[in-house]
Amino acid sequence: MPDTILFYLLAGVAIIASALVIGQRNPMYSIMLLIASFGALSGLYITLDAPFVAMAQIIVYAGAIMVLFLFVVMLLNAPQEDAAEWDRAHPMRRPGFARFGALLAGLLIAELAWALMRASSLVETPVAGRGDAAALSSVRALGGVLFTYYVFAFEATSVLILVAMVGAVVLARREDDR
Amino acid sequence: MGLATLWASFDPYLRPSVIGLMIFVVFNALIIASAILVLAERKIMGFMQQRYGPYLVGPHGMLQPIADILKLLFKEELRPKGADRWLFTLAPVISVVAAFAAFATVPFGAETTFFGLLDEPIKLGVSDVNVGVLVVFAVTSMGVYGIVLAGWSSNSKYSLMGGLRASAQMISYELAYATALASVVMLAGSLSLREVVDAQSGYWLGFIPRWYLFLQPLGFIIYVIAGVAETNRAPFDFPEAEQELVAGYNTEYSSVRFALFPQAEYINMVTMSAVATDLYLGGWHGPFLPPAYGWIWFLLKVGLILFAYIWVRWTVPRYRYDQLMQFGWKWLFPAAVLNLIATAALILYFNA
């Protein structure tokens, strides 16, 4: 029972903080709320007997990535969200690209709905191999699985991050910078 | 036994738990340690500059920290007009909470019954989690938010520059710091600080202690340098560089809110030294003393590192900012990665 209360508490904090992140006009508050959300997520991992994942969450997301976010926000010193002129006239805002983006968003919604419907049917059946979770929480086991069984997903993710980085550079560069 | 019977005579519901007592002791020890460090810093600085340092309050100025604390308590609290009210208040709290919390998983002694005072032996250390190294690392990395937010929310350009520098410095030196940690974790084969310490018991050839300092000399140097940078101490005290930024991130702070920042800094120094002792200097293992007195060795080693901290501060001039970045990214981090790869290769070679 305490586990259940803890779950709803942490999940509530995570969801409310995440929702408030989008609602803030001040990017500084958004970042602080996102950190709170990450903290709650890490708490959820601890209740799942995965302390290593919880700490990795704090170190990587709350510790490293959010400090970088803070650095950028402070460097630009943008107190209010304000779309500049070149931003509104960005090539990515052309109708063709915009429709493609809308299509992707529609696909994402369909995917989420499908996943949620499947998840509700999964809850009924008792999950086999539940003990594996405890074994997986050991760092050694986690590393072994990550670099053998899930190595393709692992490498694909690293490529995805690289693509995202290149994309960010391309998007952030102004047209007249060439 | 006097204390044991007194202990047992308490009503079980009112009896403080061992963990509660441990938290109480460690919390107060950290506060006292920061007070002693303030005095030690000024005394050692005075000694190095051929003068006495604080001398008027109490014998040899021993009560100076108390006078400092009282002075700060009675000062007026000011907040700049354009400051962000919430974040300005929150920033010092984040700093000091992170500093205290980081010590939670640092063990400082072997199992002991305190010479038979307790019925069951307890492990000296607030809590013993199996990912202790990561907890310390994660919580100390949270401390930078206090400094960055203080710099941003003060609405002053000097504070903002200090906060910016703190975040950039943290990102640059945390990598080298974590990589140096990883080498020790690989050697010990455990993320628990207590197991890392116990892996260092015993001697090579009968007289060289099996400390990781001797296996990881480069790692130790990298850890200490990155640790000095992480705690924002000279020669890496860019967030508060007096000559350039007035007082950096804490320019606009006064009274207790100001006092919390140096307190967090001193507690972070203690934590950094304690973790260095656990990881590289064999923790509480040492010759001449029985294991029950190991915490004396621990305190001695921590004191030695803290002295070196202060020593470095008053002898080495501050870097230039571009030199800091250059050193962090082009020398320290590559050296840490090379150290990690070499350690991994050697472990594989000797364990194969």
Q: What tens digit of pLDDT does each residue of A20-39 get? A: 888 777 788 888 888 889 98
Q: Are residues A115 and A175 in the same domain?
A: no
Do residue B134 and residue A77 have CB atoms under 8 angstroms apart?
Answer: no
- The CATH number covering residue A10 comes to 1.20.120.1200
CA-nearest of B326, B298, B69, B280 to B181 is: B280
Do residue A74 and residue B152 have CB atoms under 8 angstroms apart?
Answer: yes
Task: Supply the pTM of this predicted model.
Answer: 0.80
Number of domains in chain A: 3
User: Which among B134, B149, B153 has the least Cβ separation from residue A55?
Assistant: B134
Contacts of residue B180, Cβ cutoff 8 Å, sequence gap at least 6: B216, B219, B220, B222, B223, B226, B336, B339
Contacts of residue B48, Cβ cutoff 8 Å, sequence gap at least 6: B311, B314, B315
Instruction: Report yes or no: B218 and B335 within 8 Å, Cβ to Cβ.
Output: yes
CA A133/CA B212 separation, integer angstroms: 33
Q: Which of A55-59, A94-98, B8-12 has the highest mean pLDDT?
A: A55-59
Q: Are residues A90 and A13 in the same domain?
A: no
Q: In sequence order, what DSSP letters do the residues of B101-112 get, joined into one string?
A: HHGGG---EEEE
Q: What is the pLDDT of residues B227-237, one digit of tens each?
A: 888 888 878 88
Q: What is the pLDDT of residues B247-301, one digit of tens each?
A: 778 888 888 888 888 889 899 999 999 999 888 888 788 777 777 777 888 888 8
Contacts of residue A80, Cβ cutoff 8 Å, sequence gap at least 6: A25, A26
Q: Which residues of A touch B (CB under 8 A)?
A: 28, 32, 35, 51-52, 55-56, 58-59, 62-64, 67-68, 70-71, 74-75, 77, 139
Q: Are residues A32 and A76 in the same domain?
A: yes
Residue A147 has a CB neighbour count (10 Å cut-off) of: 11
Q: Are residues A45 and A74 in the same domain?
A: yes
Nearest CA in chain B to A61: B138
What mean pLDDT comes out for the span A151-160? 89
Instruction: Report yes or no: B176 and B183 within 8 Å, Cβ to Cβ.
Output: no
Q: What percent of chain A has pLDDT over 90?
A: 8
Residues β-bridged to residue B112: B122
Can you tell me the ipTM of this complex?
0.76
Nearest CA in chain A to B140: A63
CA B227/CA B277 separation, integer angstroms: 13
Q: Where are the alpha helices (DSSP H) in chain B?
A: 2-9, 18-48, 64-74, 85-102, 132-153, 157-188, 193-198, 212-215, 217-230, 242-245, 255-280, 294-315, 321-326, 333-351
Residue A88 has pLDDT above 70, yes or no: no
Which residue carries 């199996």 as its tokens? B130
Ramachandran sector of residue B301 (left: φ over 0; alpha: ψ -120 to 50; beta: rest):
alpha
SS3 A51: helix
Q: Are residues A98 and A145 in the same domain?
A: no
Q: Are residues A75 and A110 in the same domain?
A: no
How do strand B203-204 and strand B208-209 relate by DSSP bridges?
A: antiparallel
Q: Are residues A117 and A155 in the same domain?
A: no
CB contacts, 8 Å: B149 with chain A: 28, 32
Residue to substitute from A55, A75, A140, A142, interface B, most B β-carbons within 10 A:
A55
Q: In sequence order, what DSSP letters do the residues of B296-349 get, joined into one string?
A: HHHHHHHHHHHHHHHHHHHHSPPPPHHHHHHIIIIIIHHHHHHHHHHHHHHHHH
Q: Are residues A7 and A40 in the same domain?
A: yes
- Nearest CA of chain A to the CA of B82: how many Å? 12
Q: What is the pLDDT of residue A126?
A: 46
CA B332/CA B173 separation, integer angstroms: 8
Q: Are residues A112 and A151 in the same domain?
A: no
Q: What is the pLDDT of residues B17-72, one digit of tens each?
A: 777 778 888 889 888 988 889 888 888 888 888 888 888 887 888 888 888 888 88
CA-nearest of B217, B236, B207 to B309 is: B236
For the CA atoms of B222, B183, B306, B108, the dihedral, rounded to the nearest 10 degrees, stands at: 170
Residue A104 buriedness (CB in 10 A; 0-12 / 13-18 / 19+) = exposed
Contacts of residue B111, Cβ cutoff 8 Å, sequence gap at least 6: B121, B122, B123, B124, B291
Nearest CA in chain A to B168: A71
- Domain encompassing residue A27: 1-82
Residues β-bridged to residue B48: none
Q: Are residues A109 and A165 in the same domain?
A: no
